[in-house]
Structure 1
Amino acid sequence: MSTPSIEKTLTSKETFVFKDLVGPHFNPIWHFHPEFQISYIAEGEGTRFVGDHVHNFTVGDLVLTGPNLPHLWRSDAPYFEPDSTLNTRGLVIYFDHDLLSGSLLEREEFYTINKLIENAYRGIEFYGDTPGQIYKLLLEIADERGFKRIIKLLEILDILANSKEYTLLASPSYTNSFKGGDSEKMSMVYDYVMSNFKNRISLDEVAGMLNMTTSSFCRYFKPRANKTFTRFVNEIRIGHARKLLLEDNFNISQISYECGFNALSNFNRQFKAITELSPHEYRQMFLEIQSHDG
């Protein structure tokens, strides 16, 4: 994983573009761009980063991100193995803010769209029935041409704007403070954590990779991630723990050590601090949902 690089996804003649992205893994570059982005995961799983938000993703993940909001869908480690036969597929729309001008958004009919656009600057995850509805339209938009594509996009935005099944991702206080010179440094840090979170992570070693002292690294990292380095590592570990808890192959003590925690008490404490549930409560909630759906 790398820090945000600035990308441009549209040409001056395009209102929006649709891409059906298929590959061995998703783009591993932590980036941002001036366009809005609608992303639906049709195949693959891993960890999603949007601003200062960290969470798992799997098939059906649907997110709208606003302009210049750093983001990354990082595939799990098995996708990067040399002999991997795994594949990923993402259906993505990039659209320009000019598609919905300021004067248009001020009209009463566009109230819900305007609210959607405002929320997109923090990133929005949609759940429930909404992703399925959008997936169907994304498949249809691939076959449309000309103004009919615009109509289809507006239909998608209307569904998103009126959905009650959503969660805002980045915290209200998050701002993109990355500069061009940060890319290589933060890339090294994020890649190191994603590769080593199951083991003991030495703050001195991470700081040393950037030729910084421990204290200077902590001062460097916090404003860019909007959290301490320790909190960031714990979020990655707890994200992995969520997956293991849902698989039901390990007991909670085993999961604790599998995720890099040396003490079960610390694991329980950190899990509750991040999810507001104990590991047992989290697993039980999933089992109840699964039983209800069955």
Structure 2
Amino acid sequence: MREFMSNPNIEKTLTNKQTFIFKDLVGPYFNPNWHFHPEFQISIIAEGKGTRFVGDHVQSFEKGDLVITGPNLPHLWRSDDAYFEKDSDLTTRGLVIYFDNELLSESLLEKEEFYNINKLVENSVRGMEFYGETRQKVNQLMPEIAEERGFSRIMKLLEILDILANSEEYNLLASPGYVNVFKGDDAEKMQIVYDYVMDNFKTKISLEEIASLLNMTPTSFCRYFKPRANKTFTRFVNEIRIGHARKLLLEDNFNISQISYECGFNALSNFNRQFKSIVKMSPHEFRKLFLNIKTSIS
């Protein structure tokens, strides 16, 4: 049964009687709030696209996206602006599993048979994005959990975990040094920052304005932001801009110069430099690579 996200600010967690829960979430947009929780989370994007934040990692997402996040790893799947427009008829759908770490106890993970599962658990603290055949298999299996009952549901979850644990088709997301340092009202403050940047990255970002929203000076804001995001504010803004640029490069509707200005860069040279720093290839190389992939698939 699908659950309509009528109030996307509320996220339910496990009760003491539940080992895991499966949710089929349908709504006009994904939960727009930066958050974390004590459960592991496996997420599939069945419909929708936007920008994914996991720890200090920023990347675009689209249909089929498969990610596992470990306990207390901050994350956010933010739908594109088009999903928030008043007259939008767009919808999103996410298949999500939350499971308790008691399912994979420390004593169990020490057993020889659980070596790969233990490696999966260790890697999940940074978040893992899966691709290729692994993504296809899990995309097929996840909906089947809704039809299972009792211990059969556990077996289906273990089957999915086994596929993920034995896969080499993944990318680690948050950086090795990332640590969740959020306390008290940090999540609320960082949400203000994220919302501001997502609303304004196509134009000049005002450090003074964002700092004032948190009742800070620009200097104190920069000191506050860096240890919580594990990067400078400038780097964060550039990653958002480059993430949007990657989407536009794949759509092939604009030339690279147009994309540069559309993403908030005033100079093409700076755009090229920042793109290569973040993506490890030039915008031209990125577009050519994915056009070749698209051609070979078709």
Flag whether TM exceeds 0.5 (same fold).
yes
Q: Distance in 2 between matches of 1:104 and 1:262?
A: 55
TM-score with structure 2 setting the length: 0.95
Q: Is the 8 A contact 1:6 1:33 kept in 2?
A: no
Can you list the C-alpha shifts for 1:271-291, whole angstroms capped at 9, x where unaligned? Answer: 000001000000011111112
Q: Is the 8 A contact 1:7 1:32 kept in 2?
A: no
Can you list the C-alpha shifts for 1:208-242, whole angstroms capped at 9, x where unaligned? Answer: 22121111010000011100000000000000000
Q: Report the residue type matching 1:269 in the other structure.
A: R
- The size of the alignment, in residue pairs, is 290
TM-score with structure 1 setting the length: 0.97
Q: Is the 8 A contact 1:44 1:87 kept in 2?
A: yes
The aligned counterpart of 2:42 is 38
The aligned counterpart of 2:3 is none
Which residues of structure 2 form unaligned runs of 5+? Answer: 1-8
**2:239 paired residue among 235, 239, 242:** 235
Q: Distance in 1 between matches of 2:176 and 2:238?
A: 21
The aligned counterpart of 2:187 is 183
SS at match of 1:90: strand
Q: Distance in 1 between matches of 2:78 and 2:185?
A: 22
Q: Report the residue type matching 1:228 in the other structure.
A: T
SS at match of 1:243: helix
Q: Distance in 2 between matches of 1:68 and 1:248?
A: 38
Can you list the C-alpha shifts for 1:37-90, whole angstroms capped at 9, x where unaligned? Answer: 000000000000000000000001000000000001000001001111000000
Q: Report the residue type matching 2:49 in the other structure.
A: E
Instruction: Report matched runs for 1:112-261 at 5 Å.
Output: 112-261=116-265
**1:49 paired residue among 53, 62, 84:** 53
Which residues of structure 1 form unaligned runs of 5+? Answer: none
Q: CA RMSD in A?
A: 1.2
Q: Distance in 1 between matches of 2:11 and 2:127?
A: 18
The aligned counterpart of 2:104 is 100
SS at match of 1:227: coil
Q: Is the 8 A contact 1:256 1:263 kept in 2?
A: yes
1:184 to partner: Cα distance: 2.8
Q: Report the residue type matching 2:175 in the other structure.
A: S
Could you tell me the percent identity over the aligned residues?
76
Can you list the C-alpha shifts for 1:144-185, whole angstroms capped at 9, x where unaligned? Answer: 000000000000000000111000000010000011222332
Q: Report the residue type matching 1:218 in the other structure.
A: C
Is 2:262 aligned against 1:278?
Answer: no
SS at match of 1:145: coil
SS at match of 2:46: strand
Q: Distance in 1 between matches of 2:130 and 2:186?
A: 31
Q: Is the 8 A contact 1:28 1:72 kept in 2?
A: yes
1:7 to partner: Cα distance: 6.4
Q: Distance in 1 between matches of 2:254 and 2:134?
A: 32
SS at match of 2:93: strand
- The structure with higher relative contact order (CA 8 Å, sep 6+) is 1
Q: Report the residue type matching 1:182 in the other structure.
A: D
Q: Distance in 1 between matches of 2:143 and 2:11?
A: 25
